[in-house]
A and B are shown apart, each in its own frame.
Chain A
């Protein structure tokens, strides 16, 4: 029993990202409103960003900015003292990508709204079927 709770507690970050990802996927698949789908897409991307950041975490480590002082030269750097910088670098990129995708998606949604007067997908489909 203890091992199971230990398992859950040691890995709760992964459970969180999986549940967030499922929320995002559910919104993208099941929702009828296009803006809700776009929000779902954003939640999905954020879940993955959280996952990467949690890979980078290290217990008892600080932010990866090397302590240094001018003129003294510096001591050898111990990697254990600093958290992993690479996931942070990657996620900076991924955040920018998700912002870019969001911007384009919203632009498309505005175009659709201007053309069809609605953002409900079934109403748009009805209009398409009526006047192909």
Chain B
């Protein structure tokens, strides 16, 4: 089928509109439509990936217009796996968080589904598009829905969301301004066309300004360390349902956009030879990794800890992308895919635990291994992957990143990676120690025999294990992912 790329993005959009209409007529239809939309999207993404494997890079012309005039979706080795990961993770988190949404939102649940689907539409569109301005429009869709989603949560959520909105708008405006400069200098908005026209202008200050503006905009949205101020608040006060959708996907999609801008729009020849920012950026990334880990260590709450882990992971990927050699790029792309799974697993597990207690402070976690064995089991897998224990997938991408850092001779980044892994070991083993320790000593030893298993709802646990199985599967098959997608992407 040639229409897969269109279905991939349009299915969630159509489903979102149908839900919003159905909400006024028959509420019970809403959830099935949402699953149908994301399911179609996921299947299409598999179809797209299969076609990329056989044909390589291909183009889907929207409206039948050839690219510099019209907008085309460009699918290649780089974004096909990202599309699969994003649509799959969105589907899993939708199914997983159904109970949470229905409980928290009540009559507004259909609106929540609609916002979720629109956010996913935006992210998929950003990943697939080959047009720099189209990317901005889609970025705004997923941002606006993201602001609304993060605003639903505890008492402080609207405040965190407004801060997110202000910073996010600055980021998007910078991106827009950068694209405007590029358009002014070249006269085109198409990414492939830009990469043909730009080499003649590499010396220009305006192009350099455009590059910096776009990069700053993306970093603001991706929450790279000094620009991360919005992320902890937004993701830790938001409803668990929105955190499960946004935390794994939003920052990763922005990192993908950064890779796309670096590789396709401004080729590596410009990024690494014309301008010499890589020394500065890798240092920044190392600082981000260390600072994220340290701030995670300072938290007393599982959810806030996870949020700072996300900040550190962004540092991993940005650093890998800017080390400037094949190995590190492989590591960065693989880590992007892995991080979608790991963060999804982590946040789903937190949502599962939070459903059974008031807060996710460490002191509340006592005895969870016996009361919620399945959720905790998945959390252990996710933690193993984040620490980087084989055969979980996090190990392989970290391995590539470390090798890349050695090749580039950047031992500060190497040290930051190792330091952060060590901190992660401390973080999670502290957590597991809390959870293993049963905490009801005063009842006497006799009662240990019949502790009731009090698990999260089945759909949540099943999705959680789907994510955990994904971590293992990607770990086992990471060799073939690297050979089939990432190596050709870097050619």
Q: Chain A residues near B147: list those with CB within 8 A.
A: 104, 108
B201 within 8 A of A: no
- Chain B residues with CB under 8 Å of A111's CB are 151, 158
Partner of A115 from the list B155, B176, B177, B184 (CB cut-off 8 Å) is B155
- Whether a CB of chain B sits under 8 angstroms from the CB of A100 is yes
Is A41 part of the binding interface, using a Cβ–Cβ cutoff of 8 Å?
yes
Interface of B is mostly: helix
B76 CB to closest chain A CB (Å) equals: 25
> Which residues of A does B touch, CB under 8 Å?
21, 25, 28, 34, 37-38, 41, 44-45, 48, 51-52, 55, 86-87, 90, 93-94, 97, 100-101, 104-105, 108-109, 111-112, 115, 124, 128
State which of B155, B177, B189 has its C-beta within 8 Å of the C-beta of A51: B177
- Interchain CB contact under 8 A, A101 and B177: no
Contacts of B176 in A (CB 8 A): 48, 94
Which B residues are in CB contact (< 8 Å) with A128?
A: 156, 159
Provide the bound-state CA to CA distance between A100 and B168, in Å. 14
A sample of 24 inter-chain contacts (CB < 8 A) reads A25-B170, A34-B162, A41-B166, A41-B170, A44-B173, A45-B169, A45-B173, A48-B173, A52-B183, A55-B184, A87-B183, A97-B136, A97-B140, A100-B144, A105-B165, A105-B166, A108-B158, A108-B162, A108-B165, A112-B158, A115-B155, A115-B158, A124-B159, A128-B156
Chain A residues whose CB sits within 8 angstroms of the CB of B140 once the complex forms: 97, 100-101
Chain B residues closer than 8 Å to A87, beta-carbon distance? 183
Could you tell me which B residues sit within 8 Å of A by CB distance? 133, 136-137, 140, 144, 147-148, 151, 155-156, 158-159, 161-162, 165-166, 169-170, 173, 176-177, 180, 183-184, 189
Q: Is A55 a contact of B183 with CB atoms below 8 Å?
A: yes
- Known interface pairs A93-B137, A100-B144; 13 further A-B residue pairs with C-beta atoms within 8 A, sorted by A's residue number: A28-B166, A44-B170, A44-B173, A48-B176, A51-B177, A55-B183, A86-B189, A90-B189, A97-B140, A104-B144, A108-B165, A112-B158, A128-B159
Which residues in A have their C-beta under 8 angstroms from that of B162? Answer: 34, 105, 108-109, 112
Docked Cα-Cα span, A118 to B170, in Å, equals: 24
How far apart sit A41 and B163, CA to CA, in the bound complex (Å)? 12
Q: Are B148 and A104 in contact (CB under 8 A)?
A: yes
Task: Give me the 5 closest cross-chain CB pairs, A-B, nearest first.
Answer: A111-B158, A108-B162, A97-B140, A55-B184, A41-B169
Q: Is B161 within 8 A of A108, CB to CB?
A: yes
**Nearest Cβ in chain B — how far from A26, in angstroms?**
12
User: Which residues of chain A come closer than 8 Å to B173, judged between CB atoms?
Assistant: 44-45, 48
A52 touches B180 (CB 8 A): yes
> Are B159 and A101 in contact, with the CB atoms below 8 A?
no
Give chain B nearest CB distance to A75 CB in angstroms.
22
A2 to B140, CA, bound (A): 44
Look across to chain A and name the residue whose beta carbon is closest to the beta carbon of B139: A97
CA distance A44 to B253 in the complex (A): 25
Contacts of B189 in A (CB 8 A): 86, 90
Residues of B within 8 A of A37 (CB): 166
Residue with the greatest number of chain B CB neighbours at <10 A, chosen from A41, A104, A112, A115 = A104
Pair A51/B158 contact, Cβ less than 8 Å: no
CB contacts (< 8 Å) of A34 on chain B: these are: 162
When C-beta atoms are compared, the residue in chain A nearest to B161 turns out to be A108
Q: A25-B170, A115-B155, A124-B159 are in contact. Are A101 and B180 (CB under 8 A)?
A: no
**Does A55 lie within 8 Å of B180, measured CB to CB?**
yes
Greatest chain A CB density within 10 A among B136, B156, B177, B180 is at: B180
In Å, the complex CA distance between A52 and B136 comes to 14
CA distance A104 to B168 in the complex (A): 13
* List of B residues within 8 angstroms of A28 by Cβ: 166, 170
A41→B166 CA distance, assembly (Å): 7
Nearest chain B CB to A127 CB, angstrom units: 10
Q: B156 to chain A: which residues have CB within 8 Å? A: 128
Cα A109 to Cα B147 with chains together (Å): 12
Q: State how many angstroms separate the Cβ of B154 from the closest Cβ of chain A.
A: 11
CB distance from A85 to the nearest CB of B (A): 12
Known: A25-B170, A48-B176, A51-B180. A112 touches B159 (CB 8 A): yes
